Amino acid sequence: MALLVMKFGGSSVSDAAAMRRVAQRVVATQRAGNKVAVVVSAMGDTTDDLLDTAEEVSPGPKPAREMDMLLSAGERISMALLAMAIHELGVPAKSFTGAQAGMRTDAEHGRARLLDVQPGRVRATLDEGGVAIVAGFQGISTDDDITTLGRGGSDTTAVALAAALDADVCEIYTDVDGLYTADPRIVPSARRVTRITIEETLEMAAHGAKILHLRAVEYARRFTVPLHVRSSFSDKEGTWILVGRPLTEDTMEEPIISGIAHDSSLGKITAVGIPDRPGAAASVVGAVARAGVSIDMIVQNVSTSDAHTSDLSFTLPETDGATAVAAVRALQAEMGFADVLYTSHVGKLSLVGAGMRSNPSVASKLFAALADAGVNIEMISTSEIRISVICDQSDLEDAVRAVHTAFELDAEEAAVVYGGTGR
């Protein structure tokens, strides 16, 4: 008998019919001889709708505690309805809020982090032969207030629950058949990846792939939770994400490239003509960090010999552009640099693959493919298993398709997208 955590995202429980389909799937899985705990997201666009209503009631900043009370309600609706739908099929089911499921968090409303997971009531329900359903994306703080984990946080709830229950697998049900070599909404010829390492998945999630919440992937790596990402709209096998597996001979058989992630929501700041002396980068980057903005890629050019100045460029979420520009401008007079430039609408393409470690030709092939597609590269950064380039946002989708083809990732048949927006 296996213990499974099955997590269903918003598009999988968007209305009553979808809810009944999920109930059938859960019941079939349990009847096949498994213990099943379920984690659900809010139905369809419920979280966005709640945010809109809050904005109508109180434009601008709102009490964070009350926002969490409000947003956590979305998942509570799903869990209760799903419990009823499962009951209807003759299987006992009990729903639990994050607090009831033992999800203890810090008190950072809107982006709480899990501190401790004690799912005693969930375990008791499974031991009694029932299905336990847990509301995703929420917990209870050390001050006993309701918290939420940040947008997309239900994946993290599912992985944390799977870790605490020592589940055999955490299944993430979504609206595509798994992880693809690129977003199938942009590259219809994208290929489903059958298995991928957790390190590659982390790189994909950190660089714009929307399918899994980054924190959930980090949690899965830390607690070695095997993940299976698959569609709730089909019975097809999805993508297995392998944890704790050393990269040995059998991984050498794997493709050099596992996928292409892209991010079209970035901006770029350049501080021009910074006097070349120790501490300059620390000052600029420090000021941006203190403004609460996280920086992505940083490039400093080599200082020109006579001027003794250099330019420092970095990318950041487009939505933080104004805040970060103000923080850098505030340093301009004191540090004596020439100008601060801001470009919105930059895009990032990231090529990810454990196999590129041992393959030196990947970078040149990537740059040649972009050149052939007429895409200008503005910045480059690499890790052991990733190469990222920054380009103009309007070139990004063409760039992704060109690189996908250049690395021979195209499949014969078009990928199926069952619903949702991929966000």
Residues β-bridged to residue 169:
4
Nearest residue to ligand ASP by CB is: 154
Q: How far is the CB of 51 from ligand ASP (least distance, A)?
A: 9
Q: Which two tokens stand for residue 365?
A: 């092939």
Q: How far is the CB of 149 from ligand ASP (least distance, A)?
A: 8
Is 126 one of the binding residues for ligand ASP (CB under 6 A)?
Answer: no
Contacts (Cβ under 8 Å, ≥6 apart) of 278: none
Among 14, 34, 41, 270, binds ligand ASP (CB under 6 A): 41
Q: Is 38 exposed, middle or buried (0-12, 13-18, 19+ CB in 10 A)?
A: buried
Q: How far is the CB of 44 from Mg ion (least distance, A)?
A: 12
Among 154, 197, 201, 388, binds ligand ASP (CB under 6 A): 154
- 76 residue type, one letter: R
Is 74 one of the binding residues for ligand ASP (CB under 6 A)?
Answer: yes
- Which residue lies nearer to ligand ASP by CB, 41 or 181? 41
Q: How far is the CB of 221 from ligand ASP (least distance, A)?
A: 19
Can you say whether the dihedral through the CA atoms of 180, 181, 182, 185 is positive or negative?
A: negative
Residues 358-417 that bind ligand ASP (CB under 6 A): none
Q: Which stretch binds ligand ASP (CB under 6 A): 106-114, 149-157, 307-315, 406-414?
A: 149-157
The dihedral over CA atoms of 272, 278, 281, 283, expressed in degrees to the nearest 10, equals -100
Binding mask 13-32 for ligand ASP (x = CB under 6 A): --------------------
- Alpha-carbon separation of residue 208 from 22, 191, 247, 327 (angstroms): 28, 18, 24, 25
Q: How far is the CB of 155 from ligand ASP (least distance, A)?
A: 6
- 352 residue type, one letter: V
Q: Which two tokens stand for residue 169?
A: 């697998």
Among 139, 152, 321, 353, binds ligand ASP (CB under 6 A): 152
What is the phi/psi pair of residue 185, to 5°? -75, -20
Is 47 one of the binding residues for ligand ASP (CB under 6 A)?
Answer: yes
Q: Where are the beta strands (DSSP E) in 124-258?
A: 131-135, 138-141, 146-148, 169-174, 195-197, 227-231, 239-242
Q: How far is the CB of 259 from ligand ASP (least distance, A)?
A: 22
- Which residue lies nearer to Mg ion by CB, 37 or 391? 37
Task: Tell me which residues touch ligand ASP (CB under 6 A).
Answer: 9-10, 41-42, 47, 74, 136-137, 151-154
